Amino acid sequence: MLCEESENALELHITGTCMLDEFIRYCALQRDQSPLATLLIYLKRKGGYVQLNQIWRENGPTGGGPFWNQTTLINKLDKLERLDIVSMERRILPSPRDEAKKKTNTFYRLSPATPLYPYIFGMLKIYREVPDKYSSELVEKPLDHLSDLAGRCASSDPLVGRELVVAMELISEVFSVGGDEVKWMIKERMERKGMIRDRRKELPENAPEEIKMEPKRAATKAKKSSKLPKKMEKTKPILEEADAE
């Protein structure tokens, strides 16, 4: 039986996976992926809520954006809201022309909770035009690229991280050791199983030959010392026989 925290993580995982599948289907309907990709990048750069009028002004024909009419922009924002990719908020603000009058304004922002959020800028490729000056442009099929990046993360089990924490707590209680000792025990077991290598035992290729020879010399000495007792055992009876004579 899962704890409440694990159940919430599993629910978020399932919800995110369903959203991602729906987003992929929606992207497949886009004849041109650049307008929607540009809109997502724009909202990510803005960070917070942005007024609809400003979005249209900066992404429409006036601002040199990819949207030629406001209806198309609003339809895409509404779809992204239904997918929980963006959040919409309505605010009643004074009219800029007459402060006595109040007007309802619509604001949008990219939701940080969406699985797409960390990978939005992955739709851009950055290149250097001149020294100390960089530019960016959309990759080919940016929405497909975004879906692939988010899909790799969504395919991982959200419970693995929490289960590892619980396992480390259990080891700490059973062996009465602290957190650092638990990590050392896990690392030692992984080294024995060949899952990882001890970096301290690995020397860089450019290390001096004398340093590289030290482990070999130590191993040679160890072999000689292990063989020494056997030779002494063989010579000891001979010495005893000689004494007896």
CATH of the domain at 126: 1.10.10.10
Q: What integer pLDDT is reported at residue 194 of this predicted model?
A: 66
Q: Is residue 239 part of a domain?
A: no
Q: What integer pLDDT is reported at residue 148 of this predicted model?
A: 87
**In this structure, are 26 and 81 located in the same domain?**
yes
| Whole-structure pTM value | 0.57
Q: Is residue 225 part of a domain?
A: no
Q: Is residue 209 part of a domain?
A: no
Tokens of 137: 């442009």
Contact status, residue 137 vs residue 147, Cβ threshold 8 Å: no
Task: Tell me phi and psi for residue 115, to 5 degrees.
Answer: -60, -15
Q: What integer pLDDT is reported at residue 77 of this predicted model?
A: 95
Q: Is residue 207 part of a domain?
A: no
Task: For residue range 190-212, list pLDDT tens digits in order.
Answer: 777 665 555 444 444 554 454 44
**In this structure, are 113 and 175 located in the same domain?**
no
Residue ranges of the chain whose pLDDT lies below 50: 1-16, 157, 160, 199-204, 207-208, 210-212, 214-216, 218, 226, 228, 230-245
Task: For residue range 43-69, list pLDDT tens digits in order.
Answer: 999 989 999 999 999 999 999 999 999
**In this structure, are 84 and 180 located in the same domain?**
no
Number of structural domains, the chain? 2
Contact status, residue 139 vs residue 123, Cβ threshold 8 Å: yes
**In this structure, are 92 and 34 located in the same domain?**
yes
3-state secondary structure of 93: strand
Q: What integer pLDDT is reported at residue 153 of this predicted model?
A: 61
**In this structure, are 45 and 108 located in the same domain?**
yes
Q: What integer pLDDT is reported at residue 81 of this predicted model?
A: 93
Q: What integer pLDDT is reported at residue 193 of this predicted model?
A: 67
Domain that holds residue 165: 160-197
Q: What integer pLDDT is reported at residue 11 of this predicted model?
A: 44
**In this structure, are 169 and 132 located in the same domain?**
no
Question: What distance lies between CA 26 and its chain's CA centroid?
Answer: 25
**In this structure, are 184 and 135 located in the same domain?**
no
**In this structure, are 107 and 188 located in the same domain?**
no
- Going from the C-alpha of 197 to that of each of 178, 193, 204, 215, the distances in angstroms are 23, 10, 14, 16
